[in-house]
Amino acid sequence: MARVSILLKIPNAQERGLTSPSNDNQGLKGERCPICKKPAVAGYEPFCSKRCADVDLHRWLTGGYAIPAQEDDSDGVTDEGGEPPQDS
């Protein structure tokens, strides 16, 4: 009877997604996380971790990065010359 040998490749923890890219110490050269200023990690570029990426997303979604605008009192109606109509 012939013996059959099967070689199985068992993935390591990183291949199975059990480690975070922030734990692999592979920071991007010169890049810093805009949230905490730690070295950025390729898996979460330009951030250092999922947490900092989520903090940034929360700021976007809640209007934390809104640019202040100056309110315009005109109603937006202009005459043919491009100027707002004059009140008589």
The whole model's pTM is what? 0.48
Q: Is residue 13 part of a domain?
A: no
Domain interval for residue 46:
21-61
The pair of three-digit structure tokens given for residue 48, joined into one six-digit string = 């250092």
For residue 70, what pLDDT is reported?
Answer: 85
For residue 56, what pLDDT is reported?
Answer: 96
Q: Is residue 4 part of a domain?
A: no
Q: Is residue 79 part of a domain?
A: no
Q: Is residue 34 part of a domain?
A: yes
For residue 77, what pLDDT is reported?
Answer: 62
- Whether 83 has a binding-site annotation, put simply, is no
Q: Is residue 3 part of a domain?
A: no
For residue 38, what pLDDT is reported?
Answer: 95
Q: What is the pLDDT of residues 33-57, one digit of tens each?
A: 999 999 999 999 999 999 999 999 9
Q: Name residues of the chain where pLDDT drops below 70.
A: 1-2, 4-28, 75-88
What's the one-letter identity of residue 57?
L
Q: Is residue 27 part of a domain?
A: yes
- Whether 5 has a binding-site annotation, put simply, is no
- Whether 62 has a binding-site annotation, put simply, is no
